[in-house]
Amino acid sequence: MISAVDLRDKIEEVHKPWSAIEVARANDQVIRIALFQGEYHWHKHTNEDELFYVIKGLIVIQLESQAPLTLHEGQMAVIPKGVVHCPRSQKPSYVMMFEPYVLRSCGD
């Protein structure tokens, strides 16, 4: 059965920073929501791009090869595969991520 997904309800399921929950799957992609708070760690994805969409709050994506990228509510950015990056947020922020399903968001 096809049903609607209420992102406000899904946000209520997120309790721990950096631990993403799955919202939906489409083809070989997964949509996840995570609470960003504090700093994650520097990393890269060798084979997958990663899209960040800020639902609520403000995040900064530190990039090894350029100035940090600030994303406000309603903004998104794609981090291409191979780019070293480190997301952070000073205040609790909710972010939706579109990723290949093979990319396992594992939290901190």
Question: CATH number for the domain including 89?
Answer: 2.60.120.10
With respect to residue 59, please indicate whether it lies within any of the assigned structural domains. yes
- Model pTM score: 0.90
With respect to residue 40, please indicate whether it lies within any of the assigned structural domains. yes
With respect to residue 73, please indicate whether it lies within any of the assigned structural domains. yes
Q: Identify the domain containing residue 76 by its residue range.
A: 7-100
With respect to residue 58, please indicate whether it lies within any of the assigned structural domains. yes
With respect to residue 108, please indicate whether it lies within any of the assigned structural domains. no
Please measure the distance between the N-terminal and C-terminal CA atoms of the chain and give it in whole angstroms. Answer: 34
With respect to residue 33, please indicate whether it lies within any of the assigned structural domains. yes
Residue-by-residue DSSP string for 74-90:
T-EEEE-TT--EEEEEE
With respect to residue 107, please indicate whether it lies within any of the assigned structural domains. no
Indicate the number of domains in the chain.
1
Which pLDDT tens digit goes with each residue over 57-104?
999 999 998 999 999 999 999 999 999 999 999 999 999 999 888 766
Which pLDDT tens digit goes with each residue over 27-70?
989 999 999 999 999 999 999 899 999 999 999 999 998 999 99
98 in helix, strand or coil?
strand
Give the pLDDT score at 105. 57
With respect to residue 106, please indicate whether it lies within any of the assigned structural domains. no
Residue-by-residue DSSP string for 32-52:
EEEEEEEE---B--SS--EEE
